Amino acid sequence: MTHSPSNLLSRRGFCLCCVGGAALAAGRGWLTPREAFAEARGLVSLIKDSAATSPIVVHKLRHNISALEGSGGNIAVLTGPDGKVMVDAGIGVSRPQLMKALADLGPEPITTLINTHWHFDHTDGNTWLNSVGARIIAQDSTRKYLGEVQRVEDWDYNFLPPAAGGIPSQTFAEALDLKLNGISLKLKHYAPAHTDSDISVNFAEANIVHVGDTFWNGVYPFIDYSTGGSIDGTIAACDLNLAAATADTIIIAGHGQPVSNKSELKEFRDMLVGVRENVATLKRQGRTRDEIVAAKPTAAYDARFGAFVIDPGFFTRLVYEGV
């Protein structure tokens, strides 16, 4: 399966994570660094161009919390007298559509923005959101990564820091509790999972949790080894998320359909474990990476999870890197 820019653009909510998939899985195996860079650079432009016109879909949940879909990673919004609290910022060029969606939720200003991790498709909107009054909160590593040029080796691509206002001004190492709009927000750092900067944001009274990119609902995930991610860390994060959830918990996924639940998360976790075991077995037998990709260790899961831009071959390579 290859990804042309047109089929990338046919999907709402794609992200920088997906650029890697497209650049690396372009039908003829890994691209040379020069090719990968050219393709990634072109696709970043395409993603920005498309985000500029994509509609934002609003999913109203409960306790004045909504999930917003259509600008990079899925966004959560809590409204109330303390001002709007956002979890993740989307892509900057979506500002007009996001402003409209946010205005439809109520007249309050945006006062607080929480980043689930450093990736572009979750933090690119930081600068404009800060400029309209949002303080930005994140885990220590998110601030560190946003403060320097980030080189993602798998993409041969360098991401430049945002303008100063887009850097989180309040950070924490392991946990931070806030009380806003009558809701107890519990921010918690995962052990290294999708990156080593991932946090969950739990809206306690509402039994809603945004788990960032530790969960891609119904699609193969990207895993960023360049900043501490791994397949085993991603599985461990899923186990934590499952242990904390009840049948009634609304789980907001970083990518894929945003409004999810424990049973879909369990399916995702079981897929990760199954693919990991298949790839590890083949690797122990001494097979090369390309032989393992050709053996299709994801085959049993492709119909359910393989339709997004992280395709089976690219996901297999990501698992191979970590077992």
Three-state secondary structure call for residue 203: strand
Q: How many residues does the chain have?
A: 323
**To the nearest whole angstrom, how small is the minimum distance from the Cβ of residue 104 to Zn ion?**
27
**To the nearest whole angstrom, how small is the minimum distance from the Cβ of residue 194 to Zn ion?**
6
**Piece in contact with Zn ion (CB under 5 A), picked from 53-61, 89-97, 137-145, 206-214:** 206-214
In the complex with Zn ion, the residue whose CB is nearer, 124 or 213, is: 213
In the complex with Zn ion, the residue whose CB is nearer, 128 or 222, is: 222
Phi-psi region of 261 (alpha: psi -120 to 50; beta: other; left: phi over 0): beta
Burial class (CB in 10 A: 0-12, 13-18, 19+), 140: middle
Residue found under tokens 């119909």 = 303
In the complex with Zn ion, the residue whose CB is nearer, 150 or 202, is: 150
Q: Is 95 in the site for Zn ion (CB under 5 A)?
A: no
Could you tell me which of 143, 140, 135 has the C-alpha nearest to residue 162?
A: 143
Q: Is 210 in the site for Zn ion (CB under 5 A)?
A: no
Sequence-separated (6 or more) residues with CB below 8 Å from residue 286? none
**Piece in contact with Zn ion (CB under 5 A), picked from 86-94, 114-122, 149-157, 289-297:** 114-122
Could you tell me which of 151, 160, 170, 94 has the C-alpha nearest to residue 128?
A: 94
In the complex with Zn ion, the residue whose CB is nearer, 119 or 143, is: 119
Q: Which of residues 121-150 bind Zn ion (CB under 5 A)?
A: none
Q: H/E element holding 280?
A: helix 262-284
- Residue 295 structure tokens: 């053996």
From 84, 95, 119, 317, residue interacting with Zn ion (rule: CB under 5 A): 119
In the complex with Zn ion, the residue whose CB is nearer, 17 or 323, is: 17
In the complex with Zn ion, the residue whose CB is nearer, 17 or 176, is: 17
Q: Which of residues 14-53 bind Zn ion (CB under 5 A)?
A: 17
Residue found under tokens 């990709």 = 293
**To the nearest whole angstrom, how small is the minimum distance from the Cβ of residue 268 to Zn ion?**
15
**Piece in contact with Zn ion (CB under 5 A), picked from 28-36, 112-120, 262-270, 296-304:** 112-120
In the complex with Zn ion, the residue whose CB is nearer, 17 or 279, is: 17
Measure the CA–CA gap between 297 and 218, rounded to whole angstroms.
Answer: 17
Q: What is the pattern of x (binds Zn ion, CB under 5 A) and - over residues 212-231?
A: -x------------------
Q: Which residues pair with 55 in a beta bridge?
A: none
Could you tell me which of 86, 129, 77, 70 has the C-alpha nearest to residue 105?
A: 77
**Piece in contact with Zn ion (CB under 5 A), picked from 9-17, 107-115, 141-149, 296-304:** 9-17
**Piece in contact with Zn ion (CB under 5 A), picked from 29-37, 57-65, 99-107, 118-126:** 118-126
Q: H/E element holding 48?
A: helix 33-51
- Work out whether the CA dihedral 86, 89, 92, 94 comes out positive or negative: negative
**To the nearest whole angstrom, how small is the minimum distance from the Cβ of residue 248 to Zn ion?**
27
Q: Which residues bind Zn ion (CB under 5 A)?
A: 17, 119, 213
